[in-house]
Structures are given as C-alpha cells and as structure tokens.
Structure 1
Amino acid sequence: MIGGGPAGLSAATWLGRYQRSTVVVDAGEHRNRFSEAAHGLLGSDPISPHTLLAEARAGLAQYPHVRLVSGTVTGVERTPDGTFRAEIDGEQITVQRIVLATGVRDRIPELVGITEHYALDVHHCPACDGFTIRGQEIIVLGAGDGVPAFAAELLDWAVRVRIVTDSSHPAVDAVQRTALDEHGMEVVDGVAEALIGEPGALQGVRLADGTLVPGSAVFFSYAHDPSSSIAAQLGCELDHEGRVEVNGFQLSSVEGVYAAGDLTPGLQLVPIAIGKGTAAGVACATSLRGHSTAAPAPDPAPPTRRFATGGNS
C-alpha cells in the first residue's frame, strides 16, 4: 500500500479484514493536511482530517497483519516471478500486490499571506468548502480554460463571484466572458499579489497595480498534479491528466496493481476516496484467494468452488 490518506487507510482496513499481510507506506503529505475539516462523511460531518486519519490508524490496530510505515517509496519494479520489489527509503521489500493511493498535489498560488489564510478563508475545493462560505462574496484565482467552470460551481453558495486572471496569461476567452457576464460573474484582469485582512477575516485580494478586489473568501485552481510517478514506472495506463485508469474493481492496466482515491479519475472528495479505497482493498484481497501471503499472515482461504447446482461453497 503506497499512501496512507483516506483511500489508502480504507484499502488497508479491508485487506486487514481479509487477513492479508499488508504494509502501508505513508509519507505524511496528505492533500487536506492543512484543512480544518473534512465534510460530507456520513455520521462524521464535519471531522478534522487529523482526527479522521488518527481514528483510521487506531482502527487498524485490530488487524495484526497490517503494518504502518512512515517513509517514501522511491521505486517499484516487477520481478521475473511476477511479484513486485519496492524500495522504501533505501530498504527493499517484495510484495505480491500493490495499491496506489498517492493522491494529487495542488499548486498553491504565490501570494503574500497565503500560509496564514489557507484553509481558513482560502480553499481549493468548491464542493468541499462551498457550503461553509454560503452568502459571501468570493474571489476565484486560477489559470487555464477550466477556471470559468470552476468558478461557476461556487454560484450554488456565493452571492457574488469574481475571477481574477493574469491578463498576460489569459485564462478566459471572449465567449466565456460573455457567459460569465450573463451569470453576473465579473472578470478582473490583473496579477494577484497579496491577501488583505486577518486570517479568518479576509477583506480581499490586492493586485500588483494596487487594486483591491473585495471578497471574504478565495478559491484557487491552478493545477492539480497527480502523484503518478510510481504508476508510470510500473507502466500503468494514465489519462490525459496523468491519473491512473482503473476498472470497476480499481484494478489498473497492470495486473496486480490497484489504485484508489484522487489518483484515479472522478470526483475528488474524501467520502469517494474512502469508497474507492474500500473497493480496491476488497478486490486486492480477494485476488489473493488461494495464494499464500507474506509471513506471518495465515494462508488465504482456498478459491471458491462451484458445484454442479450452481451454488457456491
């Protein structure tokens, strides 16, 4: 298991329940580690990301064949016998299956005050944090032709949305500007330079020319880079955004390699990452049925036998 965020820990939980010997390698660089809360989890809404992961790790203690390792996987290769050799901070282990849950990295804007404001009144996910800013005036910072659609998501909650786009690298064309105008969304050309106001009490964004764009929250969308270098090493098929293509069982194009969470196509939300991790964990575990896993785990159950009546043993 490479990655110990919600998807990775979810997969590890189910591998543990199937009594598969599992090593979870976690570098601790989870995408929402700066966020105050994760939302939309049934029965735990809201919950801090730290608490969510701490409780998930504590839950793994009941599965003696699951081991958590702090570190970084620097390389993985397939061996001639069909297993995989992974290098973890200079040490090598051999495994029969791999679950990739390495997530994505958000490109954070270079603004004065960004560190203090991030996760309080600066966010990167409309679906995650839109409800918390309902009724406010919102500023969207971004680059690329997907920014208008990103900003339009916030209309479900915001009373006003303004897009700040660097005019030297235009992200909004004339057709898009017309559509935005029809929705009452203003486009301000300029370079965002600094956040104005105290953390949690944002007043707006100051541009390089001194203009103050008013707003009480900022959302940004510059780039969301999948951490897919290990997947690429293994030869997994990637989509046009660099995410790992998987089937309904979270199996990649490489036999024995599964992927889950934000690293795969689809909505990037914690509840969905957990669900994908569950699917990957169960599929990975059952793929080992009839094959012994690494010591000291017991041998998995033998393959299900189908009787002439069509029933399963």
Structure 2
Amino acid sequence: MSDTDTVADYEVVVVGGGPAGLQSALYTTRLGHDTALVDRGGGRAAMMLDTHNVIGVTEDTSGNEFLATGTEQVESYGGDVIRDLITDIERTDDGRFYLEGSSNAFRADRIVLGVGFSDKHPDPPVPRTGKGLHYCLHCDAYMFVDRPVYVMGTGEATAHVAMIMLNFTDDVDVLLRGDEPEWSDKTDEQLRAHPIDIVESDIDGMNKSDNGWLESFEFEDGSIRQYRGGFAMYGSNYNTALFETLGCELDDDGTVIVDESMETTVDGVYAVGDITDGHNQIPVAMGKGAQAGIDIHYQLREFPRDLEEIRAEGPVTETEVPGVSDRVQNAAASFEEAQAPPIEAPAPDATAEVDAEADAIEPPSDD
C-alpha cells in the first residue's frame, strides 16, 4: 500500500493524458462521475510539432497545445487532473481498484488505461522527430507529395510503407542501414517490382537546412542522397505492465484485447488508444476513449433503477435524485456560470434623453 497519508476516492480513474485518456475523462466527467485523470507527462502526442487529420484543429497547433486544451476542458467540467506516474494497480476485496502512484494513491470503481506505446527509434545520425523523422504514415504522408522520401528499417512494414508512399511521390528509397532485410521472399519480389531504390549502405552523416529540417544523408559508400524526410519502421514497445499485473489478456502483436466497449478481459478495466489494436491516429484514439466513457456511464449511473430492485425496496424518492455527487453538481454550476453571457444594463430610452435635454434649455428672455 501507499506511504501517502490519504487515498483519493473516485468513481473513475483514467491513467494516461493522451487523446484517448483525455476523451474518456471528458465523457465520464460530463456524464456525472467523479473522475481523476492521472498523467505522467510526455507521450507520442506531446512530440507532435503540428497536429494533422483532426477536424477543427489547425495544422499550426502543436501536440502540447492540443493536449493542454483537452486538459483544460476536463478540468472545466470538474475532473481532477493530477501529474503522477502510476506504478501499481491491484483489485481490492470489495471489487474496486487501488492505484499506487509515485506521489499519490487512488481508489476507483472503474479504471481506464490509455498508456500507449513507445516507438523504437533508429540509431543516430537521424534528424529530429517532426523535422525529417516521422512514424505515422497516415498523419504525415501528405507532407511528402512529390518530394524525395526514405523508409528506414528491415521488416515487412518497411517494405509495405515504401510501396504505399509511391501514391504520394515517385522518389522513394528503402534504407537498410547495413542490415539484412527481414521481409519475406514474396514481399521482396513485390517490392522489387516497384520503382524503389534499396540502399544497403549505412548512414555516415546528415545535413540539415537552416530551419532544422533534413536535407540529405551521407552514406558509408560515399554517396549522398537528398530527402525531404521519411519514416522509421522499427516497431513499438507497448506499455502493458499494468495490464499484465491485473491479468488482462494480450494479443499476439502485444496490444491489449478489448471488446467493442473497450473493456478488457478483466471486468472494470478499460484500455483505450494506441495500446489497443487499430490505427494509431488521434481521431481513432478519441473515438475509443469516448466509447469507454459511455460504457462506464451505463455501468455506474444510478437511474433508471432496476425493476426488481424497485419491487423489493420501493420507488425512487425525490431525496435520491439527482444521481450525481456534490462535486459534480458544484462543478456544473460553476461551468454554467462561467459560460453565461454577462448581464448588460438596458439601453436608455432615446426619447427620454431628448426630453431631458429639452427641459434643460432655458426659455428665451423677454429683454
């Protein structure tokens, strides 16, 4: 158990403040459930220099700006956002969950884990992420229309991403960096039937432009190749330690198995975002987060009360409603007050002003 003096009690604790976790916390908070979002900071979304493919969010919005706006939204509706790293979770005898953090401890009826994964990075020299080194084909392929691009790696994904990039540009290289390809013979035949150069030599140096973007790579064989940028395809490290502690089942690819409501194989434990199977995209992650939030609401909401319970204990009384906590009620009242337009004083009557001015004019003298 925790060394902290107190354990904070919530209906829902969301672990991970990426797009999926934020969306889950937004839904459970607005649907009336005491919610805490516990975030260690960082993550893949925070690395984005620009935000792509999200309706209503412009390209000049950085990942940190996007996440900050989401955090402010959760807090404005009454959710608590806490910076901490959850290191352990266990199920208690009463069926709830105890979460141990580096500085805090929590109890919850339901937990949502949006802890994602980390991309495996290539060895240097490579450009800065977002300035010529990219990991998301669907996010960033548009940036390379009619531009020279590389795909770095040796596996099946490398070959297929390289072929896909021919939809956007006619100048695509696969960079093996001195390693042997690991894709299948069938994939090798398919790849070599496309106009793609396979560069076997490793990278020896890199040149960048004044704005920090990649300009070219220098190779050990003495060649220099220019690129606008490219994709590193070395796989992912899924953050599954908490799921394994709870006994959640994993798929063969390392992702967490969930049902259509994003609930894992352990009741009350939800997985959202990139830790689950599917496209690693912000809108997709947000959809998963919303689905988990709605399902949790169905499970936790007080009303409608089950007919069997009504028959056994009687009808719902007025003192039992509404079915949200004082914390949520107070937050909702504060939110409505903040959103309400200011009350303006009524405009003065123009006719009355004219009459007042007329009364102030002195009549002409008889002199």
Fold-level similarity (TM above 0.5): yes
Match of 1:55 in 2: 69
- 1:27 has 2:40 as partner: yes
Deviation track 1:227-247 (CA, whole Å, cap 9, x = no partner) reads 111111111111112111111
Q: Aligned partners of 1:153 and 1:141: how far apart in 2? A: 14
Match of 1:123 in 2: 134
One-letter code of the match for 1:288? L
Q: Aligned partners of 1:227 and 1:278: how far apart in 2? A: 21
Match of 1:236 in 2: 248
Q: Which has the larger strand fraction?
A: 1
Indicate if the aligned counterparts of 1:19 and 1:63 stay in contact, CA closer than 8 A.
Answer: no
Q: Aligned partners of 1:280 and 1:98: how far apart in 2? A: 10
Match of 2:106 in 1: 93
Indicate if the aligned counterparts of 2:32 and 2:325 stay in contact, CA closer than 8 A.
Answer: no
Indicate if the aligned counterparts of 2:48 and 2:64 stay in contact, CA closer than 8 A.
Answer: no
Could you say if the C-alpha distance between residues 86 and 166 of structure 1 is closer, same or farther in structure 2, counting changes exceeding 3 Å? same
Indicate if the aligned counterparts of 1:147 and 1:171 stay in contact, CA closer than 8 A.
Answer: no
TM-score normalised over the length of structure 1: 0.87
Q: Aligned partners of 2:235 and 2:203: how far apart in 1? A: 16
Indicate if the aligned counterparts of 1:177 and 1:187 stay in contact, CA closer than 8 A.
Answer: no
| Counterpart among 161, 164, 169 of residue 175 in structure 2 | 164
Q: Aligned partners of 1:210 and 1:51: how far apart in 2? A: 42
Match of 2:236 in 1: 224
Kindly indicate whether structure 1 or structure 2 has the higher relative contact order, using CA contacts under 8 Å at least 6 residues apart: 1
Q: Aligned partners of 1:237 and 1:204: how far apart in 2? A: 44
**What is the correspondence of 1:271-310 to structure 2 with a 5 Å cutoff?**
271-290=283-302, 296=327
- 1:132 has 2:143 as partner: yes
Q: Aligned partners of 1:293 and 1:208: how far apart in 2? A: 66
Unaligned 5+ runs, structure 2 = 1-13, 304-322, 330-367
Deviation at 1:182, TM superposition (A): 1.7
Indicate if the aligned counterparts of 1:206 and 1:212 stay in contact, CA closer than 8 A.
Answer: yes
Q: Aligned partners of 1:293 and 1:141: how far apart in 2? A: 52
Determine helix, strand or coil for the equivalent of 1:23.
strand
Could you say if the C-alpha distance between residues 60 and 35 of structure 1 is closer, same or farther in structure 2, counting changes exceeding 3 Å? same
Deviation at 1:43, TM superposition (A): 2.0
Deviation at 1:137, TM superposition (A): 0.8
Please tell me whether Structure 1 or Structure 2 has the larger radius of gyration of its CA atoms: 2
CA RMSD of aligned residues (A): 2.1
Deviation track 1:128-172 (CA, whole Å, cap 9, x = no partner) reads 011012110101111323211122222221221100114444234
Match of 1:151 in 2: 162
Q: Aligned partners of 1:201 and 1:146: how far apart in 2? A: 24
Q: Which has the larger helix fraction?
A: 2
Q: How many equivalent pairs are there? A: 295
Query: Is the deviation greater in 10-19 or in 193-202?
Result: 193-202
**What is the correspondence of 1:163-182 to structure 2 with a 5 Å cutoff?**
163-182=174-193
Q: Aligned partners of 2:213 and 2:124: how far apart in 1? A: 16
Query: Is the deviation greater in 123-132 or in 212-221?
Result: 212-221
Deviation track 1:58-117 (CA, whole Å, cap 9, x = no partner) reads 1123322x1001010000011111111100105322111110101110111121253xx3
Q: Aligned partners of 2:294 and 2:85: how far apart in 1? A: 24
Query: Is the deviation greater in 193-202 or in 224-233?
Result: 193-202
Deviation at 1:281, TM superposition (A): 1.1
One-letter code of the match for 1:147? T
Match of 1:260 in 2: 272
Q: Aligned partners of 1:268 and 1:130: how far apart in 2? A: 14
TM-score normalised over the length of structure 2: 0.75
Q: Aligned partners of 1:265 and 1:154: how far apart in 2? A: 23
Q: Aligned partners of 1:194 and 1:222: how far apart in 2? A: 20
Deviation at 1:297, TM superposition (A): 5.1
